[in-house]
Amino acid sequence: MNELPKNWLTEMPFDYEFKYYILLAQIKRLKESILEHKLESTLEDIESSLVILYDIKYAKDGIENKDSKIIGIDFDNMEIEFDYPEDNFTVESMYELCDVAIGLYEGLHSDLRKSWRIVSKKLKLSNLTIGSIKNNGFLYIRNKGKLLKYSISIPLPFNTTWKDVRVRYIDKIPDDLSELSIFIKENNDGLRHYWCESIDDIPLNDCLIPVIKSVLYKNLI
């Protein structure tokens, strides 16, 4: 994905129309990615961009009090760099474009959540066993005539999110339920075994598995 440059807003010289064009081009790319169900990578892009934009927005009062302006962002230390303003019109235009960008990115975030919920409702995820250990086990995804086997580890819901769920690919096995049944019996020491049908035209790693992770985490609570 062609990400928006991290310093696109604060880089000088400041040309409002040019920066607005860059912003709209990125918004268009992200909308297309949502339509293509590239949900996890798009979510990361949207959230990281919003963090930067809100840092600029919430720093505005302090900047005005110090009679200074943003000249860049130190992304290693996540600090905003300031200098004294030479052109208040330029500074105000930057703040205005920042607010515009926040509105557009929040709209994208809402659209992505809707797509996420739609995929979640379509998801055919079932528990094949009644295990006593709720947060560890295996996941099987039927995909293109094969069964993809994963190990899963779901953290307890304390200072964690669905992003902390671990889904690790193990191998690909024949789509043979009798063979799968044998494996489950041999690995049924309280572990959970989840089955999922893949969804046509849905990316496996950038959509299906992240949605599965969010469902498993939510069901653990």
The CATH number given to whatever domain includes residue 144 is: 3.40.1530
Residue that terminates a domain, selected from 66, 99, 121: 121
Q: How far apart are the first and last CA of the chain?
A: 34
99-146 pLDDT tens trace: 999 999 999 999 999 999 999 999 888 888 766 667 889 999 988 778
The model's confidence at residue 8, banded by pLDDT at 50, 70 and 90, is confident
Asked whether residue 162 falls in the same domain as residue 134, the answer is yes
One domain, residues 161 and 142: yes
Do 66 and 159 fall into the same domain? Answer: no
Are 188 and 132 in contact by the 8 Å Cβ rule? The answer is no
Q: Is residue 10 part of a domain?
A: no
The last residue of one of the domains, among 94, 121, 148, is 121
Q: Does residue 81 share a domain with residue 21?
A: yes
- Number of C-beta neighbours around residue 196 at 10 A: 21
In a domain, 102, yes or no: yes
Closest to 154 measured CA to CA, from 138, 169, 140? 138
Instruction: Spell out the long-range contacts of 113-120 with Cβ–Cβ below 8 A and sequence spacing 24 or more.
Output: 115/34, 115/37, 115/39, 116/39, 116/211, 116/214, 119/37, 119/39, 119/199, 119/202, 119/207, 119/208, 119/211, 120/211, 120/214, 120/215
- Range of the structural domain that residue 63 is part of: 16-121
Residue 87 domain flag: yes
Whether 161 and 220 have beta carbons less than 8 Å apart is answered as no
In-domain check, residue 196: yes
> Is residue 73 within 8 Å of residue 10, measured between CB atoms?
yes
Strand pairing partners for 137? Answer: 152, 192
Residue 59 has pLDDT above 50, yes or no: yes
Q: Are 68 and 47 part of one and the same domain? A: yes
Structural domain tally of the chain?
A: 2
Closest CA to 216 of 172, 155, 159, 174: 155
Question: Average pLDDT for residues 48-62, to the nearest whole number?
Answer: 78
pTM comes to: 0.79
Quick check: is 2 in a domain?
no
Q: Based on the domain organization, do 129 and 205 belong to the same domain? A: yes
